[in-house]
Structure 1
């Protein structure tokens, strides 16, 4: 039986105890070699023992040939033989029946022997010094698999490249045509046809849709039984491949192999096989731009956006246009202008206030003011550790005439949502500046910082 088969019989042992039990059964100098490496796990100790044993097969014959004597027997991974017990040696010579059979006692049997005062390992009375008479040696035999189990068959480079070519991988978003605001798309000119290409680092190869392949009028090589693996594990049949298809992107010429697949939403998908040929690439997904060097010149590309929703996803660069329902601030009769002394800010917050004020002035959101009104400015930290610019209008609100609007009951609103499956929400970016203030009330919105008075 192997060491791993006998190890459970030793009971629950910690990892260091298992290593110590294993190394104690090794012959010298194999045990010393393993102990010097201080293995922390049993698997590491076994691996070291096997490595040193294989080394001994080469070292010892070499030393023996230099000394001119016969090689000594090879060191084997075995445990020392048990020492025969004098009290049982005579009976053991009669045959295998004379050997003592050892088995694990159940808890009931151990309690019964403890009550009778008997030894757990024999049927004699237990007393002080009885362990010197009743001895047991547990032998753990360790057998490990042959060296052929660790040999990993390596395929030739040509075979590995062939397997890679016959099993391209494409991402799920690329094959399903899912579009987001951060997908990098570029125009591809293939002959006289202009195609829409997705730059996808999740796809291993380059692909072209069937419809785009027909539009180009090119001839591709058909392959039977070829398929592409999608990221979710599915397999999509591949009709064939264009070998060294010539196309251009913003005037840059390329030649790549393109696999023909039934794509949805994109004409061409350029994967890592093409991206790797560009070398180092500087990618900015916020602006959808990419930069890289090709030959002796720098290439800069800007991705194609979705023109249908450009006005929705564009970042606001100023105040909205004036409308018929601009916000008004009605003061109570006899109200005097509200002027509140600004807070004392930390140096870091003061710099942040000045930075944000300069940015809003450059975008036309705020302007300098000489109004008699002035409210406080606060900086509130966001979840991403950035600062939110807030104006404290609580004192001004005390002097305003409140507008009255009918507010629906929340239970009635929830009843109206019964049976609905899809819900939408609207979140204004920089909501403070998305609602225009009536020109007659702009001076009432003035706020004061440490350096100037400004208003929307």
Structure 2
């Protein structure tokens, strides 16, 4: 990391300009020996029994020359701070608490998404896409079937008695919504349904075990974009939205 990359700030310690790094991981203020010697009207160093480590889980503490107190300022705020002076040319650091006092670092406790009247406006402006299931306006999907695969009629999976009523209601609901249709007469393919309870506990989701059928479907190959591809495509974008596809697995 170059000096330009570091969060360097100009400040004053006992009236002397000093360049310090605002370090969100530092618990104390650290001044290197060179910066300490340049401070005018500096207080005399006092002995310190504290141990200051350069980073978390470090086994060797820094070689401290002592500590002193002085007024620190960034032009807007001034307060008295304790500085630990270390031997050698290490960087001078401003602690997490001091950086907050000087408004160099701010912490975000929580993030909330403000409610906007636009949500209601959009819902009322596009009722056909914000209510009900809606319908697909694109061309029908063509499924390529491998005719060499022999059809499989899988046995019916028994459904627990306590959810049979919910399964019947859900099937009627899907049929009325034109999502599924009743099949009459013999069929070479039979796939069992599986009733999965939703997290709410009041509803169920009807799933179909399509593993046998998938063996007869010729797979199409598509290039899946990487994260780098997506980030490149989003370069320059300023407005983002999220869409909740209600029961999108039926589309």
- Shorter-chain-normalised TM-score: which range? 0.3 to 0.5
If you compute each CA radius of gyration, which structure gives the higher value, 1 or 2? 1
- Structure with more contact order per residue of length (Cα contacts < 8 Å, sep ≥ 6): 2
TM-score (norm 2): 0.46
Q: Could you state the TM-score of these two structures normalised by the residue count of structure 1?
A: 0.27
Give the structure with the higher percent helix.
1
